[in-house]
Copies of this chain bind each other. A is one copy, B any other.
Amino acid sequence: MSEFELIRRYFCSEILQPERRDVCLGIGDDCALISVPEGKQLVVSVDTSVAGVHFPEDADPYDIGWRALAVSLSDLAAMGAKPAWFTLALTLPEGKGEWLESFSQGISDLARRFGIALVGGDTTRGALSVTVQVQGYVSPGAAWKRSGAKPGDLIYVSGPLGEAAGGLEVVLNPELDLPEYQSLKQAYLRPEPRFDLLSSLSGRVRAAIDISDGFLADLNHVLKASGVGAVLDPGRIPISSSLKSLFGEDRAFEMAISGGDDYQLCFMISPKRRLELEVCADQCHLQLYPVGVITSTPGIEGLNHFNSAGFDHFGRNN
């Protein structure tokens, strides 16, 4: 089977092209044609994952596919958008059927979960890298921007931090690959874009970002965009017992505030909305973690008594 046929086989499947009313013409022509639903804004993000930089060269192709799509989808989740469709630009050294089958399965399994369609793509020869552009919809004015945080707002994160940084260590050090650390490994290899938060947070979020660079670095993006500062309560930063048991309290804390790739959301809400948010999250069995407060003084306070390694990394991210 030629590479062209392989690609058609794995990427033009019905699974990757579910029927969607907005997709008028999918893969196979010069372009795709989309009818954006009336009264919706289009939300767009693009991310490239490079072998040896964003994932190990010899990673399971299923995970490479899953992760490349997840990382890009996470940006939509961070804007409060509903995912709709995506394009895939895959550069690979050679088109092996087995590799492509597993890679496309990873992409399909995640795409199917949200009913999103692959509408276009390009496959080229070269060093392995994957570029995914995702599109979703949001009602006008409803997108969660980075610039909306106000002094007094509560800062939340959507789950334990540092999991992916810990997971990467497990991936790179096979002697750590024990049953009790599989949740860390999964957090790194198969991150879950947090669309499950959408209904609870909708209409309540003032600013949001997904944690890809690391909690402090990403929080800082929000603070700068909003022209505000923050006071954190380090004791409230959620850290899993697995991470602490594997790396010890100090290193686990450093990973939680500086490690990237968690793809949890960090968001701000007005304190007036706290009760309704927490009731709503409870009803949806979601656990949310308040970790600090927005202030009018630029910078981040509250971490002074923690080790300098964290601060150093923080400094470098800015």
Contacts and interface: CB of A to CB of B under 8 A. Distances in A.
Interface of A: 24-25, 28-36, 38, 41-54, 75-76, 78-79, 81, 87-89, 91, 119-122, 124-127, 129, 131, 133, 136, 138, 140, 143, 145-147, 208-210, 225
A27 to B, nearest CB: 11
Contact of A44 (B34, B41, B147): B34
A89 B53 contact: no
B28 A33 contact: no
A143 to B, nearest CB: 6
Contact of A120 (B28, B34, B45): B45
Nearest to A140: B35
A136 B34 CA distance: 10
A29 B79 contact: yes
Most buried by B among A24, A44, A47: A44
A97 to B, nearest CB: 20
Contacts of A47: 89, 122
Contacts of A76: 30-31
A50 B143 CA distance: 34
Given A126-B129, A131-B131, A133-B87, A31 B50 contact: no
Contact of A129 (B41, B54, B124): B124
Contacts of A25: 143, 145
A81 to B, nearest CB: 7
Contact of A48 (B29, B33, B124, B210): B124
Given A30-B208, A48-B122, 11 more contacts: A28-B146, A28-B225, A30-B79, A31-B79, A33-B41, A33-B143, A42-B42, A46-B88, A48-B131, A51-B126, A87-B133
Contact of A52 (B24, B46, B126, B143): B126
Given A79-B31, A145-B25, A91 B140 contact: no
A251 B276 CA distance: 74
A143 B125 CA distance: 30
B126 A46 contact: no
Nearest to A32: B44
Nearest to A35: B41
